[in-house]
A and B are shown apart, each in its own frame.
Chain A
Amino acid sequence: MKEINSMRLEFLSRSANEGFARTAVAVFCSQLDPTLDELGDIKTAVSEAVTNCVVHAYPDTLGKIMVRARIFEDNAVEITVRDWGVGISDVSRAREAMFTTGGDDRSGMGFTIMESFMDVLRVRSVPGRGTTVTMRRKISRRAAK
């Protein structure tokens, strides 16, 4: 599938950037003319992925987070959220609903929400090297709305 447009953001793992990242991605995606619901789903999923980096990838330090968004010919958007933090030793366990290593500050629902709000969710992680989350969501064409 042909890529039509793309953008890349890089920022520090400060919690203030959670809002920045989801808003920036939403503004980029708005060129696909999404509904408010579609945009809300994307914002929520991006917020979950970036929050994971802030909370889990860099627990006691500030690190770099990269967010990339690509728009494809079939009106789909692919969002990649990448960190170079501690990594996840058991990805399938981390993806389970209610599982968290974050204590009662976290709900353990982040990956579940990303999964239910996006069409595709891929998580790749190497302990000590970092994690890459890739999400894809097709935006319905105006005529179908």
Chain B
Amino acid sequence: MRIETAYQNGELRVMLHGELDHHAAGDTVREIERAVDAYMPMLCVVDLGGVTFMDSSGLAVLMKTRRRVTQIGGKVRVTGASERIERILNSAGIGKFIEITRREEVHIERN
């Protein structure tokens, strides 16, 4: 799992690359929480576009991210999920807690 972050105008973008399973979950959560604490974003966008595999461990990662961001008054949005990952997100009804948007074609400047 490789994690890239970019921050601009109150928006923290977290780009995940690789396989998000239980083995990768602990480090992923720690890294996201570190970035959230450092930037205190209003909006945290978790981009799953580079995630080649995700199971239910990824759901716990997203819910933990939501909790951390909500504590500082921010919001979380999940984007870039493949159809398979979307099925996993939907099976847990995570859309009730986190905004999920389809793959977007937006150019982001990376730090």
Chain A positions near chain B (C-beta within 8 angstroms): 15-16, 18-19, 22, 37, 40-41, 43-44, 47-48, 51, 54-55, 97-98, 104-110, 112-113, 116
Contact = CB atoms under 8 A, between A and B. Distances in A.
Interface stretch (B2-10, B49-57, B73-81, B101-109): B49-57
B92 A107 contact: yes
A135 to B, nearest CB: 14
B60 interface: yes
Main secondary structure of the interface of A (DSSP, over half): helix
8 contacts: A15-B21, A41-B84, A47-B22, A47-B55, A48-B55, A104-B63, A107-B60, A110-B55
Contacts of A104: 60, 63-64, 67
Nearest to A100: B60
Contacts, number: 68
Nearest to A106: B60
Contacts of B64: 104
Contact of B63 (A51, A97, A107, A110): A107
Interface of B: 19, 21-23, 25-26, 53, 55-57, 59-60, 63-64, 67, 84, 87-88, 91-92
Contacts of A44: 53, 55, 84, 88
A21 to B, nearest CB: 10
B91 A112 contact: yes
A104 B25 CA distance: 12
Nearest to B94: A107
A22 B26 CA distance: 19
Nearest to B25: A105
Given A47-B55, A105-B60, A113-B56, A18 B23 contact: yes
Given A15-B22, A43-B53, A98-B92, 6 more contacts: A15-B21, A18-B21, A19-B19, A107-B57, A107-B63, A109-B92
